[in-house]
Amino acid sequence: MTIDEAAPAAPAAAAPRRRAAGDPVKVLLHRHRALCERAVDPLEIAAGLEAQGITDRTAARFRHRDVFSLAEELYARTPREDEPPAPPADGPADARALRRFGIALLPGALACAAAAAAVPYAAAVTALAAAAALVLPGPSGRAAAGRGPRSGRAVLLLAAAAAGWAVHRHGTPLGIALALAAAPGHLAAAGYAARARHRLAASRALEDFADGARPLLLGTVAGFTAAAAGAAVLAGAAVPLALPLALLLFLTRLLVGHGASRGPVAAALVLALVPVTAAVPAAAAGLLACAVPVLARASAHARP
């Protein structure tokens, strides 16, 4: 066989390798087709990819500088038969937001009225109302994937038990303080979700979003802490007692509302039931340490 006769065989052997490496995104598109088809924008795809362990370093293997760039290509290449539904008008959305804020004001009003009228079991009423108002996720929250309502009810019951046990031990003013903190807690959670979503839209890398999300969370926690301290002073409750418990319930709301695993949240609430003075501050500190990395992930801020 001459050299000329063997020459054409080389390109034929290399061709399959070139075809396999020519479109590295195609396999990824097929693997995550369901995610790509239901996403209404590339941000949701980026958050979903991150939740499944794909990082900016992984994106480089698909010839993209980061996950956001990869998500944009996946979104553009996904066929869609129908356009995504148009967002609701501002008027109804504003009305719903105002209605939810009004509901968040109710626990404080009921607690103050029950205490002023010396209603029997006022302490239990204020504790339950405050726990429900501080823990239930707001409109911007999202359920954790694969976790049904049972786990949500379990977390709410644990939160109510922690609040009720603390109010039983320390008196009605603590329950009033928690109930008064429900309205600023609602505003803080809604504002945090909106700012985090805006930051996600402006970010171009997962690390970039995480670097901005951490101080945003800490600022939100600091703002709520100041409001909860003011509520404790107004209610006549001891600030060192009311503040850690209010913060624990608020962090529970953020983590559950943004789809975090319920295990660490439940563990912190169980710790708060221990009849030791340092139990609630330790539970709040532990849950804050858990919240910082969890809520710095883009996947925690995707739309439901």
- When the pLDDT of each residue in the chain is averaged and rounded to a whole number, the result is 77
pLDDT value at residue 210: 84
pLDDT value at residue 148: 45
Tokens encoding 6: 């063997």
Higher pLDDT, 49 or 227: 227
Tokens encoding 284: 């709040």
Q: Scanning the structure block, which residue is given the tokens 């049904």?
A: 148
Higher pLDDT, 276 or 19: 276
Tens of pLDDT, residue by residue over 124-153, are: 676 777 776 667 655 444 444 334 445 567
Higher pLDDT, 12 or 81: 81
Tens of pLDDT, residue by residue over 24-44, are: 777 787 788 888 877 777 777
Contact 84, 93 (CB under 8 A): no
Closest CA to 42 of 185, 188, 201: 201
pLDDT value at residue 17: 42
CA angle (87 as vertex; 39, 199 as ends), nearest 5:
65
Confidence of residue 94 (pLDDT cuts 50, 70, 90): low
Among 165-169, 202-206, 262-266, 271-275, name the one with the lowest average pLDDT.
202-206
Domain boundaries, the chain: 17-77, 91-301
pLDDT value at residue 279: 96
Is pLDDT of 218 > 90?
A: yes
Is pLDDT of 202 > 80?
A: no
Confidence of residue 80 (pLDDT cuts 50, 70, 90): low
Average pLDDT on 182-194 reads: 90
pLDDT value at residue 147: 46
pLDDT value at residue 298: 79
Contact 250, 134 (CB under 8 A): yes
Is 0.85 surpassed by the pTM of this model?
no
Please give the full DSSP string across the chain, using - where no structure is assigned. Answer: --HHHHTTHHHHHHHHHHHHHH-HHHHHHHHTHHHHHH-SSHHHHHHHHHHTT--HHHHHTTT-SSHHHHHHHHHHHS--SSPPPPPPPHHHHHHHHHHHHHHHHHHHHHHHHHHHTT-TTHHHHHHHHHHHHHHS--TT-BPPTT--HHHHHHHHHHHHHHHHHHHHHH-HHHHHHHHHTHHHHHHHHHHHHHHHHHHHHH-SSHHHHHHHHHHHHHHHHHHHHHHHHHHHHHHT--HHHHHHHHHHHHHHHHHHHBT--HHHHHHHHHHHTSSSTTHHHHHHHHHHHHHHHHTTSGGGGS--
Among 60-64, 142-146, 153-157, 204-208, name the one with the lowest average pLDDT.
142-146
Contact 137, 253 (CB under 8 A): yes
Higher pLDDT, 256 or 123: 256
d(Cα 67, Cα 70) in Å, to the nearest integer? 5
| 3-class DSSP state of 258 | strand
Burial 189-207 (b: 16+ CB within 10 A, else e): bbebbebbeebbeebebbe
Burial class (CB in 10 A: 0-12, 13-18, 19+), 129: buried
pLDDT value at residue 6: 44
